[in-house]
Structure 1
Amino acid sequence: MLWLFLHLHVLTVLCDAPLPSRPQSVLVDRWHLTWRPAPGEEDLNFTVYYHSFKRPTDKDEWEVVPACNQTPSLWCDVGFTRAQAEHGCVKLQVQAQTRELISKPSQACSVHGDSCTPEVRLSARPGSLTVHLTKSHSLFQEYAAHATHRIYFGQEGASLQGHIISASSWTVDGLEEGRRYCARVEFTIFNKSVGLPSCVQCELIPERVSSTHAVVVAVVVVLLLVLVVPLTAYVLIFHRGYMKRCLKPPCRISEDLLQPLQPGVPQLVLSPCEEHCSVVSSLLPAEETLDH
């Protein structure tokens, strides 16, 4: 009876205790998985799970990464999981655990594009945002039109719930200027997501330049060209001498050279004087000179 009471008491305590928060910033950088606990969470262990893509009809069966099962570390080398799947298409997630309580899983995203992670680039214009994608990847070469992109899109800070399916780059119009919009992209095969998604990227939608402002800028530029160019040409043509004198460095003569010479002081020779030399008409060997 006592054992039953204690067992019920433990179950009541566990049911009333809040679940640990999900791990945050779960990132994969060249198959090195990192994460961090939620603020205020302590004494946690973490378990990493992976799902390998083998066929489009496979079920989502998650397996534990043996090296990262209930570990207190905040990183895990998951390179071996890539060899378990076709094209290296592996999904990863991390759960936090304290005592008998387990958090909800946090999906990992890839910092860099890979054979099974899309290469994503965003470009913003007033009122629109373009998600640049490419068809040059191994999945498209094998599955053709059945290999597409699922693009999650929304304002920064909001949950990216809505998505579209696109085979290549996609542009959305009618966006609010001055706001930041974000996108996350993953590969799909037969409308089933595969591999690691790209990490969320955000761009600021620039504001349009009003027509009045554009006219003012154009007028100012024209006036500068009309005034500055002729003035510069006039100065260069008619006042070159004045400009040279202004740019010429100052020349100072030593005061010693300006003082009169004192008696007994040798005069400084500024140029070599002429020497009087005899001209030798010919040279004879020493023996011939002795004979003579």
Structure 2
Amino acid sequence: MFLTVLCLQFIVKVLSEAPPAPPQNIHVDRWLMTWTPATEAGGVTHTVQYSSFDSNVWTDVPSCVRTPASECDVASTQSGAEHGCVMLRVRAERRGLTSVPVEACSRHGGGCTPEVSLTARPGYLTVHLSRNHSLAREHADHAKHRVYYGREGEPLREFKEGVASVTIEGLQVGRRYCTQVRYLYFSDPVGLPSCPRCELIPESGKPSGQTWIILTVALFFLATLSVGIAYVLAFRCGSIKQFLRETRYHIPEDFLLEPFPDGHHLAAACEERYDVISCVSPREPAGARRPLLDPPPSAGDVAPSFLLPVLDSEPGGEDGPETSMGWR
């Protein structure tokens, strides 16, 4: 009778016992996976599992099955996966009961996790993403980003997809919103998602925290540059002048009088060519007199370029040859 009561109490205790709470803060940093146990109660172990993007099967990591530790080296899981990209998760176990598995995220971007940066504006949050990654180079626009977002402290259930950067609209000003990004191949998740990042949506006219950081860095750079220039002008001006005097280049006096190198000669000027133009007039009969000037040429004739006076001598009578003057 006593044994029966003990067995009944044990069965009731086992049936009424709840499964352990899932672990928290699950991160992967350089293939070292760490987590925080949800309870300090004894008897709780953890099991780590992995899966590649082309498979829906989750496989236990051999070195991290029911381990009492809170970390696991998962570098061996990438050897059999395409591109070395795997998804990782961990669950808590106690007395045969298991918790809900929780997926890990990566703190650093890389070939399997997107690089993420945020810019907040009134009512908007821009998630800056790059399309220059290994999956995009191989699969083009079939490789996308899925951006999960939501208010801080709430589950990230809503999402948008895009090849590159994504802008989320209609956000409430004065509230913090968080995002988490992962790669997609068609509609299948690839690799580890980025760890959530949060940003405050500023009110209109108020710059965000990132804007203040940029302004501060720019002002500091300008102030440092101004101080450096003032120091050089005040205390190092003479040194600079002395350095310039010592390093200046002197042009030799015979710089422009040096002979041409061998094989190079000045070309001689070519003689100018010209054509000889002459005009020949027919000889008039003896005794004929020509006017001093010829009549102007008609429209169909071609005027001579120039006329020259010519003395014609003809054999005459007893008084000797007759001389006449004309134009040629």
Amino acid corresponding to residue 136 of structure 1 in structure 2: N
Equivalent in the alignment of 2:60:
64
CA distance in 2, matches of 1:195, 1:151: 14
Equivalent in the alignment of 2:51:
51
**Deviation at residue 9 of structure 1 after TM alignment:** 5.5
How much is the aligned-residue C-alpha RMSD, in angstroms?
Answer: 2.1
Q: How does 1:190-201 map to 2 (within 5 A)?
A: 190-201=186-197
Match of 1:183 among 168, 174, 179: 179
Equivalent in the alignment of 1:162:
158
**Deviation at residue 145 of structure 1 after TM alignment:** 1.2
Number of residues paired by the alignment?
206
Equivalent in the alignment of 1:79:
75
CA distance in 1, matches of 2:192, 2:9: 42
The question of whether the paired residues in 2 share the 8 Å contact of 1:21 and 1:41 is answered with no
Q: What CA deviation, in whole Å up to 9, does each residue of 1:109-142 have, x standing for no partner?
A: 0000121111111111122110010111111111
Amino acid corresponding to residue 109 of structure 2 in structure 1: G
CA distance in 1, matches of 2:138, 2:2: 64
Superposition TM-score, scaled by structure 1 size: 0.66
Superposition TM-score, scaled by structure 2 size: 0.59
**Deviation at residue 8 of structure 1 after TM alignment:** 6.7
CA distance in 2, matches of 1:203, 1:150: 18
Q: How does 1:1-292 map to 2 (within 5 A)?
A: 10-53=10-53, 55=54, 58=55, 60-209=56-205
Equivalent in the alignment of 1:286:
none
Relative to structure 1, is the Cα distance of residues 6 and 90 closer, same or farther in structure 2, using a 3 angstrom cutoff? farther
**Deviation at residue 40 of structure 1 after TM alignment:** 4.6
CA distance in 1, matches of 2:205, 2:167: 21
Amino acid corresponding to residue 177 of structure 1 in structure 2: V
CA distance in 1, matches of 2:97, 2:107: 30
DSSP 3-state at the match of 2:67: coil
CA distance in 1, matches of 2:134, 2:27: 23
CA distance in 2, matches of 1:4, 1:117: 56
DSSP 3-state at the match of 1:164: strand
Relative to structure 1, is the Cα distance of residues 7 and 133 closer, same or farther in structure 2, using a 3 angstrom cutoff? farther
DSSP 3-state at the match of 1:171: strand
Relative to structure 1, is the Cα distance of residues 6 and 66 closer, same or farther in structure 2, using a 3 angstrom cutoff? farther
The question of whether the paired residues in 2 share the 8 Å contact of 1:126 and 1:177 is answered with yes
CA distance in 2, matches of 1:8, 1:137: 60
Structure with the bigger RCO (C-alpha within 8 Å, sep 6+) is 1
The question of whether the paired residues in 2 share the 8 Å contact of 1:148 and 1:166 is answered with yes
Moved more, 13-22 or 61-70: 13-22
- Bigger fraction of residues in helix: 1
Q: What CA deviation, in whole Å up to 9, does each residue of 1:57-86 have, x standing for no partner?
A: x3x101111111111111111011111200
CA distance in 2, matches of 1:42, 1:177: 45
Unpaired runs of 5+ in structure 2?
A: 207-328
The question of whether the paired residues in 2 share the 8 Å contact of 1:52 and 1:81 is answered with no
Q: Percent identity?
A: 48
**Deviation at residue 194 of structure 1 after TM alignment:** 1.4
Amino acid corresponding to residue 97 of structure 1 in structure 2: E
